[in-house]
Amino acid sequence: MTANELLSEFVSREELAKLLKISPRTVDRYGQLPNGLPFLMIGGRKMFRLSSVERWLAAREQHPNPVNSRRRSA
């Protein structure tokens, strides 16, 4: 296995920012949240596994107007 194959699922902060259409600084802020964006330090650089980023984003998915099982009486 080559280094390129091993790291094929990882992207840099700048690459992730381009993929998400946000600034690299926003990627940094997401990483500083209490349950922040997961990363791995490789050679002094933050690298992000795309599958971990997808799971992190999915966990933050919001559903507006949740169905309320109890109706209000008029």
CATH number (domain holding residue 30): 3.90.105
- Has residue 3 been placed in a domain? no
Q: Quick: pLDDT tens for 40-63.
A: 998 899 999 999 999 999 999 988
Q: Torsion angle of alpha carbons 26, 32, 33, 38, nearest 10°?
A: 90
Task: Report the pLDDT value the prediction gives residue 6, as an integer from 0 to 100.
Answer: 81
pLDDT of residue 71: 60
How many domains, the chain?
1
Q: Are strands 10-12 and 40-42 parallel, antiparallel or unpaired?
A: unpaired
Tokens 């992207």, located at residue = 11
pLDDT at res. 72? 61
Contact assessment for residue 46 and residue 39, using Cβ atoms and an 8 Å cutoff: yes
**Residue 62, domain member (yes or no):** no
pLDDT at position 10 is 95
- Report the C-alpha gap between 4 and 23 in whole angstroms: 26
Give the 3-state secondary structure percentages of the chain, helix then strand then coil, rounded to 5: 40, 15, 45
Q: What is the mean pLDDT of the chain?
A: 89
pLDDT attached to residue 65: 78
Q: Give the containing element (helix H, strand E) for 46.
A: strand 45-49
Res 26 pLDDT > 70: yes
- Domain assignment present for residue 36? The answer is yes
